[in-house]
Structure 1
Amino acid sequence: MAPTRTRSLLPLLLALATVLMSGPGDAQISIFPKEAFLQRGTSLQVNCSTSCNQTFTLGLETKLPKTELASGHNWKLFELTDIEEDSRPLCFENCGTIQASASAYVTVYSFPESVELDPLPSWQPVGKNLTLRCQVHGGVPRAQLTAVLLRGEVELSRQPVTGNPRDLTEITVTVLASRDDHQANFSCRTELDLRRQGVALFQNISESRQLQTFELPVTLPKLDTPVILEVGTQHLVLCSLQGLFPASEAQVHLEVGGQRLNPTTTGSRDLVSATAPLEVTAELEGTQQLRCVVELAEQTLEAQETLSIYSFPAPTLTLSEPEVSEGGPVTVKCEAHGRSLVVMLTSAPAGPRSREIQLTLNASSRLPSPEIQFTLNASAEDHKRRFFCSAALKVAGQVLYKNLTMELHVLYGPRLDESDCLGNWTWPERSQQTLKCQAWGNPFPKLTCIRETDGALLPIGLVKTVKREMNGTYMCHAVNSQGNVTRAVFLTVLYHHQNNLVIIILVTLAAILVPMATAIYLYNRQRKIKIYKLQKAQEETAMKLKTQATPP
């Protein structure tokens, strides 16, 4: 800042007193201050003084606006205003016939009027050179002015700012863009270092600009979906791309036949994937293009897949009589729809005639046709026979099949075969046996086994203890709505006759021998007791005699 008038008078008067102390022959002119360093646009007070003791004139020569503030016998004080550039004010005098002058150096400093970093690219490819350009306008002295290009707080380059301060000066630095530079802030800072002049270090920084870097792979997106689709089905379409950065900012578009799908997109560091449900409608039938477009950094990568969309109604399998009585005719008909054809009509085994029927059916369907049919006379062996109808459709070089099955029900009377109900049973008495007798028929027949002599029932299917009373001939009778059948069953129970005389003798012997054994036992017990008592008496007598014979 320029000194005030009050503050400058005292040093100027001291300087003037020093000059006045010189002798008359030593006339000198001086200027104060000899050097000044001040901010552009400010003011400066300059003092001109002389030691001349003759008639003299004293003044200040300068291009700057000046005002004489005060004067004395041999000094004058001037104020220079609006100092915009460096200058050399000159104090002059005419002392008699002698002319003299003294000059000062006025240096101005100013901050840059603008410091701006050029806009960065919208997206910068990873691995490519990026040139940062800093525009500096103004700022003096240039010898003390430096431009610093920054990435965040890290210095990338430090360069002096040269050239005419009235012109725009460009400072550049080239860096190699990397993934780490994504969303990094770049800026430009100027430093006006006036610390050697006793002032300070002044800094001015531009508005920061954020960089976005990207990297695209050389591969195309990958589509994962069936290429053959049936009308009326739903599928999940998946599109993914590996190796792009930043994947989280990529956009994925999916469309089929020009219709946009609604994908759900997820992205990690270098993988983006999108899934979308696809409902296959009749409007899409035919050949359609599935497109996946990945957009990142104003770049696109596209993959396409050809879809074959078809309509394939299931064939129709009909039986003229789904339930028929034994011996009745049944017509089996297999019919295809749309562009499909019947390629097979067969029957699954249901008895000894199954092989013959299957051969006949195959013979009638050697060539694909829209319709195949066959007629048979139903037998009991055809009950629950399964018929198989197969239709085929060729789509995009592949043959697709749809199948249908039906089961025939034949009503027939009861059957009681030897294998299911044995005619002769021979069981040991008191053994555990299961009485097995199975009747067959449709509807399932009711079975009862009754003894001819007394009408007793044989418990069929239960585990029983065989008794001799079960012995006899039984008539097993099976009946349903289609008829009845009877089969004779002979049950023989094996058992042994018992000898009553032996039992009587054994009982008599037991009645005699048990009392005798008891009497013998009691006699021997009494005898042992008497012998024991006699021994004890003898021992006591001997003890008394021994005591009497011993002297006192």
Structure 2
Amino acid sequence: MATMVPLGPLPRACWTLLISLFLVCCLLLAPGAQGQAFRLRVEPQNPVVPAGGSLLVNCSTDCPQPELISLETSLFKEEAGEGLGWKAYRLSSVTSDSEIFCSGICNGSQMSDSSDITVYQFPERVELAPLPPNPVGKNLTLRCRVAGHPRAQLSVLLLGAGVLSQQLAVGGVTTTVLASRNDHGANFSCRWELDLRSQGLGLFQNSSVPRQLRTFVLPVTPPRLLVPRFLEVGTSQAVTCTLDGLFPASEAQVHLALGGQMLNATVESNGDKLTARATATASAELEGAQEIVCNVTLGGESQETRENLTIYSFWGPVMNLSQPTVRQGTIVNVTCAAGARVQVTLDGVPAAAPGQPALLQLNASERDDRRSFFCSAALEVDGVVLHKNRSVQLRVLYGPKIDPARCPQHLMWKEKTTQILQCQAQGNPDPQLQCFHEGSMAQVPIGIPFRVRLNYSGTYNCRAASSQGTHTVTVVMKVQERNPVTITIVIAVLTILGFVAAIPASIYVFGVHKRRDIYHVNQGNAEFPLTSKTAEEPLGEPPS
């Protein structure tokens, strides 16, 4: 019955040394060793076995009466059969290269033979080491890890656009390439090849999962950050961060922060230029000196810019009137305040000290109606003086008054002409102005054109009235007839006299014209009668 013969836990090298010493001793001590005429053979010779596989080994001899044929090995073995001159063993779970020895005795002489077992193992995996983002223009190291056997027949190829390197799988397999923009997004992989064609098996190969390379360009210049120098609490302003020369700009990450608080940024890329925009809002808890930070990260590297920003509180000036609307003769107080450290000036008069309010007191009069009071506030922030201004208007109630210069008291107009009664009144509130005839109480329009009639003549009371009282002026209007009777009689007499004078003049002119005709006698020809020439015909010089 075949039995498994487990070997001790000694290493393979120790077993090989012990077996060799044992065989040498046996050969030296055996009688008739030098007269050995038979050999012991191990089959197969130098076999190649897959890792974890089994192997049938035969120890055989031509000796007619062999004795003690056995197999010495560090591997697990069991007898597989025997016969005259041979003995077979099955080796199982072959996981490493080993050397085996067959030994026996023939005619008292020691016989032996050995064979080398080579174990091959396909790599369980081949893996390209992770490819971190690599700057353009710098060397990229590709490293491939492969576990397989035998190493002498196992080679590794590093692949990109083509075969970049081919090496035996001894330790780590690496190669170096210069990264360029064209390598961005390119795939790289490893491929192992186990060449067992010399052992009659063939060429085996497999490839790793490809990895994609990310190349990048991050300029050495920091980003350009545009921020306001000052920002008032409760207000907002735009913040812009730009960086040119990035590749690929679309993959860069931008972080904008104010006082350690992230800002919601909108990022745009155009070619190799990146622009990030955000809105910075000043809050009361951030009042004081702060920093706005712009950080651009690409390929695991970053560039950063910091700019100072002062957040301040400036809530003034606040102006107050003791009463916004008063009657004339009322005492009015005007105040202006703007908080701590703020210097206020009210109508050109500064307050006693920064942080103190400014006060102005007056007795309201008609001249103060619609008067504007102006207050200026100044606050120094980080060496710069900031200003804010505010104004309020006072309304003074006073009675109506008709300005004589704007309302003539004597008018002389002609009948049937178009005229305008110009009359204006002042007061607060605005008064209502009306003009009535003393006798008929007829109202004449004010400020609009109207056609004058004879019955408009007379005295008018123009009255301005409001809640503050009344004021009346008298306007005398005289209307003249357009064509009086005396003028008509004079025109008629002059017309008759004109006709009377025209008749004698016409008779005189006609008589003189007739007497001044010239007659000529034609003595040479009696056939022609006498003819007259009028004075209209050119006759040369008239007689004296």
TM-score normalised to the size of structure 2? 0.61
User: Residue 198 and residue 158 in structure 1: after superposition, are their counterparts in 2 closer, same or farther (change >3 A)?
Assistant: farther
Taking the aligned partners of 2:165 and 2:283, their CA distance within structure 1 comes to 63
* 2:270 equivalent to 1:261: no
**Could you report, residue by residue, the CA deviation over 1:11-62 in whole angstroms, capped at 9, with x for unpaired residues?**
xxxxxxxxxxxxxxxxxxxx9999999867576899x999xxxx999xx999
Unaligned runs of 5+ in 2: 1-41, 107-112, 493-544
Inter-CA distance 125–313: structure 2 relative to 1 (3 Å threshold): same
**For residue 429 of structure 1, what is the aligned residue in structure 2?**
416
Q: Do residues 273 (structure 1) and 276 (structure 2) align?
A: yes
Q: What CA distance in whole angstroms lies between the structure 1 residues aligned with 2:359 and 2:436?
A: 48
* Equivalent in the alignment of 1:473: 459
- Aligned AA (2:156): A
**Paired AA for residue 261 in structure 1:** Q
Question: Using a 3 Å threshold, how does the CA distance of structure 1 residues 237 and 457 change in structure 2: closer, same or farther?
Answer: closer
Question: Once the two structures are superposed, what CA deviation does each residue of 1:138-183 show, in whole Å capped at 9, x if it has no partner?
Answer: 345846x5422124xx334241426xxxxx4432211223456556
| Conservation of the 8 A alpha-carbon contact between 1:414 and 1:485 | no
Correspondence for 2:168: 161
| Among candidates 250, 255, 271, match of residue 253 of structure 2 | 250
Q: Does 1:396 align with 2:396?
A: no
Give, as a single letter, the amino acid of the residue that structure 1 aligns with 2:166: Q
- Are residues 337 and 32 of structure 1, via their aligned partners in 2, closer, same or farther at CA, if it must alter by over 3 Å? closer
After superposition, give the CA deviation of every residue in 1:110-159 in whole Å (9 maximum; x if it has no partner): 4543554463365433332121122334345846x5422124xx334241
- Mapped to 2, the partners of 1:434 and 1:197 lie a distance apart of 131
Match of 1:459 among 432, 445, 455: 445
1:332/1:374 contact within 8 Å kept: yes
Residue number in structure 2 paired with 1:343:
345
Over 3 Å counting, the alpha-carbon distance change for 1:272 and 1:326 in structure 2 is: closer
Tell me, yes or no, if the aligned pair for 2:268 and 2:276 is still in contact at 8 Å. Answer: no
Q: Which amino acid aligns with 1:155?
A: G
The Cα shift of 1:199 comes to 6.1
Matching residue of 1:524: none
Name the counterpart of 2:475.
Answer: 488
Tell me the amino acid that sits aligned with residue 227 of structure 1. R
The answer to whether residue 247 in structure 2 is matched with residue 240 in structure 1 is no
2:388 & 2:151 partners in 1: Cα distance?
91
Matched with 2:287 is 285
The yes-or-no answer on 1:125 pairing with 2:173 is no
CA distance in 1, matches of 2:258, 2:217: 25
Q: Does 1:409 align with 2:418?
A: no
Mean CA deviation greater in 121-130 or 448-457: 121-130
Match of 1:226 in 2: 228
- Over 3 Å counting, the alpha-carbon distance change for 1:71 and 1:419 in structure 2 is farther
| 1:388 Cα deviation from its structure 2 partner | 0.8
1:149 partnered with 2:150:
no
1:272–1:441 CA distance, 2 compared to 1 (3 A): closer
For residue 140 of structure 2, what is the amino acid of its counterpart? L
Secondary structure of 1:226 counterpart? coil
> How large is the Cα RMSD of the aligned pairs?
5.2
Q: What residue identity is the alignment partner of 1:488?
A: V
- Structure 1 175/487 Cα, relative in aligned 2: closer, same or farther at 3 Å? farther
- How has the CA–CA distance of structure 1 residues 343 and 276 changed in structure 2, closer, same or farther, with 3 Å as cutoff? same
Change (3 A) 1:37 1:489: farther
**1:447: how far off?**
1.6
**Higher helix fraction (1 or 2):** 1
2:145–2:173 CA contact under 8 A, matched in 1 = yes
* Distance in structure 2 (CA, Å) of the matches to 1:450 and 1:475: 5
- The answer to whether the Cα contact below 8 Å between 2:120 and 2:149 also exists between their aligned partners in 1 is yes
Deviation at 1:449, TM superposition (A): 0.9
Partner Cα separation in structure 2 for residue 294 and residue 383 of structure 1: 61
Who is 2:523 aligned against? none
Aligned-residue sequence identity (percent) comes to 34
Per-residue deviation at 1:189? 0.7
- Cα contact 2:397–2:428 (8 A) shared by 1: yes
Q: Which moved more, 1:473-482 or 1:416-425?
A: 416-425
Distance (Å, rounded) in 2 between the aligned partners of 1:465 and 1:200: 128
Paired position in structure 1 for 2:176: 174
Aligned-pair CA distance for 1:373: 4.0
2:123 alignment partner, SS class: strand
In structure 2, the CA distance between the partners of 1:261 and 1:160, relative to structure 1 (3 Å rule), is: closer
Q: Deviations over 1:266-304 (max 9, x none)?
A: 4456636363543421x4333334444455555454433
How many residue pairs are counted as aligned between the two chains?
A: 432
**Secondary structure class of the residue paired with 2:148:** strand
Code of the aligned partner of 2:204 = F
SS in structure 1 opposite 2:403? coil
Give, in angstroms, the shift of residue 394 of structure 1: 1.2
The alpha carbon displacement at 1:81 in A equals 6.9
Instruction: Choose from 377, 382, 394 the match for 2:368.
Output: 382
Mean CA deviation greater in 452-461 or 211-220? 211-220
Aligned mates of 1:156, 1:266 — CA distance in 2 = 43
Q: 1:489 to 1:308 in 2, by over 3 A?
A: farther
Aligned ranges 1:27-106 → 2 under 5 Å: 41=53
Comparing 215-224 and 407-416, the one that deviates more: 215-224
Counterpart amino acid of 2:312? Y
CA distance in 2, matches of 1:467, 1:185: 107
Partner of 1:518: none
Aligned to 1:310: 312
Shift in Å, 1:239: 5.6
Counterpart amino acid of residue 252 in structure 1: H
Q: Which runs of 5+ in 1 are unaligned?
A: 1-30, 95-102, 163-167, 346-361, 503-552
CA distance in 2, matches of 1:56, 1:306: 104
Q: 1:249 to 1:77 in 2, by over 3 A?
A: farther
Contact 2:121–2:148 at 8 Å: present in 1 too?
A: yes
What is the alpha-carbon distance in structure 2 between the residues aligned to residue 136 and residue 248 of structure 1?
A: 33
Measure the CA separation in 2 of the matches of 1:196 and 1:490: 141
SS in 2 for 1:441: strand
Residues 258 and 280 in structure 2, CA contact (< 8 A), matched pair in contact too: no
In the TM superposition, what whole-angstrom CA distance separates every residue of 1:233-263 from its partner, at most 9, and x where no partner exists?
Answer: 132563635245566463626241xxx4242
CA gap of 1:371–1:400, structure 2 versus 1, over 3 A, is same
Residue type of the alignment partner of 1:235: S
SS class of match (1:381): helix
Residues 462 and 38 of structure 1, relative CA distance in 2, 3 Å threshold: same
Q: Tell me if the contact between 1:115 and 1:136 (Cα under 8 Å) persists in the aligned partners.
A: yes
1:545 maps to what in 2?
A: none
Check whether the contact 2:80–2:88 (CA below 8 A) recurs between aligned residues. yes
Letter in 2 for 1:403: N
Does the Cα contact within 8 Å between 1:224 and 1:239 map onto a contact in 2?
A: yes
**Change in CA separation of 1:295 and 1:197 when aligned onto 2, cut-off 3 Å:** same
